[in-house]
Structure 1
Amino acid sequence: MQTNESQLNAIADSIKTAATDILAEPAATSSGMDYIELLSRFGINMVAIFILVRLIYYPTHKNKDFLFSFFIFNFIIFLLLSTTKLKPGFAFGLLAIFSIMRYRTVTVPIKEMGYFFIALALGMINALSLVDEGWLVMIGSNVIILAITLILDRFITLTHENVKEITYERIDLIHPSRREEMIADIVQRTGLPIHRVEVKTVNFLRDTAYLHVFYYAKENENRQGMTGDDD
């Protein structure tokens, strides 16, 4: 109950902050930004978000579920900030609400939340950057963000220690002195590069042991149950 109450309070605070930003200043008039400048900014933003989503995110993660949300979230933030005098806090308030709700039906992975933040940042930069300082500053900011994202996500990859849960029937190998034999047997049967094993529980009535096996891989895999039965 405390967790739900804290989440509701956080959502209420975010909505209050967003409402304050909306009412802080009147809407911008047509003189604030001409149509040519708006279209130019929108074109730069569209190219940037397309590169981020279609050329950086999708080729690596192959997840179509978030493509629509990335594009729409970016476009909404861009249009809200460029056509009205909303403060940047409004955009972060929307992100805070979104991150707390986490779609409520689907848990958004951490990396996808990072991409949502990048999509938000691109929309803010392209909507609020001062043209007086030059278009190159805005374009350069987009290029730097996209380049850093590409390098971190594509080229700087660290291995993850993954774990699988196994029901193992050869309890004669669970003795600590035979741990290397057990690891070799599991490696041969699973094909996984296992480097350590934890014996969680042992059932002598059924001659089975419940194990956690650990191995390194490029992807952060979910835990999946495996069985040692040959049936």
Structure 2
Amino acid sequence: MEFLDIPLFDDDFYKMMFRFVINFTFLTLIIRFIYYPFAKRKDYVFTYYLISAIVFFLCFTLKKYNLDIGMALGLFAIFGIIRYRTDPIPIKEMTYLFVVIGVSVINSLANKKMSYAEIIGANALIITVLIIIERYWALKQEESKSIVYEIIENIKPENYDILKSDLENRMGLKINKVTIGDVDFLKDTAKVTVFYFNNNQD
């Protein structure tokens, strides 16, 4: 049956819904259980889910027009360079955006030449790589902060441990090292730089 030259139902509906369930399941593993525990960015979680859903349905719909691999890669490139008119997206968030778009494109454009075992295997491998990199291979980025320190006695080399312990208690950070900068003996102050890892990366 048709209405205004458009079929009321198509057997591809079941295929679309099944593919969407697969896509949504793997995206939830990526976004909610890999990305969010490390980044704690709820705004990007919302963005990733919505963009991935739109990309999936758009690609699946356009697939009805028998797109070739060149057009598929073109769509992938278009969505991969999305930018917002607000602050620039950090590199890590941009990478995850690339990942969720890529997963959605794979799950929506796979044809008869690709089995469900290959689709699920590809998704599983992507998740495995993300877990390994996030939990085991991700290098911690050391941050630094310069402060004015007033206990001038503690800047002596022999009092380094006392200086470090005092700064850790005051700042609530686990400090890796402390360097001494300019010293003002008239005001009994010194500029010190503390180096530490961000708590979100511990």
Q: Could you say which TM-score interval applies, normalised by the shorter chain? A: 0.7 to 0.9
Letter of the 2:194 partner, please give it: V
1:129 aligns with 2:110: yes
Could you tell me which runs of 5 or more consecutive residues in structure 1 were left unpaired when the two chains were aligned. Answer: 1-28, 222-231
SS for the counterpart of 2:193 is: strand
Corresponding position of 1:93? 78
Q: Could you tell me whether the CA contact under 8 Å between 1:161 and 1:220 is conserved in 2?
A: no
Cα distance between partner residues in 2 of 1:183 and 1:106: 41
Deviations 1:149-207 (A, max 9, x none): 12221344544322122111134554xxx335245323234244434333343344433
- The 1-side partners of 2:187 and 2:74 are apart by 60
Hey, what's the Cα distance between the residues in 2 that align with 1:213 and 1:145? 37
Q: Which residue of 2 aligns with 1:117?
A: 98
In structure 1, the partner of 2:23 is 45
Cα distance change on mapping 1:206 and 1:83 into 2, 3 Å? same
Provide closer, same or farther for how the CA distance between residues 126 and 180 of structure 1 changes in structure 2, counting only shifts above 3 A.
farther
Cα contact 1:81–1:124 (8 A) shared by 2 = yes
- Whether the 8 Å CA contact 2:38–2:200 is kept in 1: the answer is no
Within-5 A mapping of 1:160-175: 160-174=141-155
Alpha-carbon distance in structure 2 between the residues aligned to 1:129 and 1:179: 65
**Distance change >3 Å, CA 37–CA 92, structure 1 → 2:** same
1:34 aligns with 2:12: yes
| Equivalent residue number for residue 55 of structure 1 | 33
Instruction: Determine if contact 2:149/2:190 at 8 Å carries over to the other structure.
Output: yes
Equivalent position of 1:16 in the other structure: none
- Point out 4+ residue stretches in structure 1 off by more than 6 angstroms: none
Q: CA deviation at 1:141?
A: 0.5
Q: Is the 8 A contact 1:183 1:196 kept in 2?
A: no
- In structure 2, C-alpha distance between the alignment counterparts of 1:38 and 1:131, rounded to whole Å: 14
Q: Is the counterpart of residue 140 in structure 1 residue 125 in structure 2?
A: no
Distance in 1, Cα, partners of 2:187 & 2:79: 54
Aligned residue among 178, 181, 194 for 1:213: 194
Q: How many pairs are equivalent? A: 185
Taking structure 2 as the reference length, the TM-score comes to 0.75
Amino acid at match of 1:77: V
Measured on the aligned residues, the alpha-carbon RMSD in Å equals 2.9
Q: Distance in 1 between matches of 2:161 and 2:147?
A: 12
- Per the TM alignment, residue 218 of structure 1 is displaced from its structure 2 partner at its CA by 6.0
Q: Is the 8 A contact 1:183 1:195 kept in 2?
A: no
Do the aligned residues in 2 keep the contact of 1:165 with 1:210 (CA within 8 Å)? yes
The CA deviation at 1:133 is 2.7
Query: Could you tell me the TM-score, scaled by structure 1's length?
Result: 0.67
Offset of residue 138 of structure 1:
0.8
Q: Distance in 2 between matches of 1:220 and 1:106?
A: 23
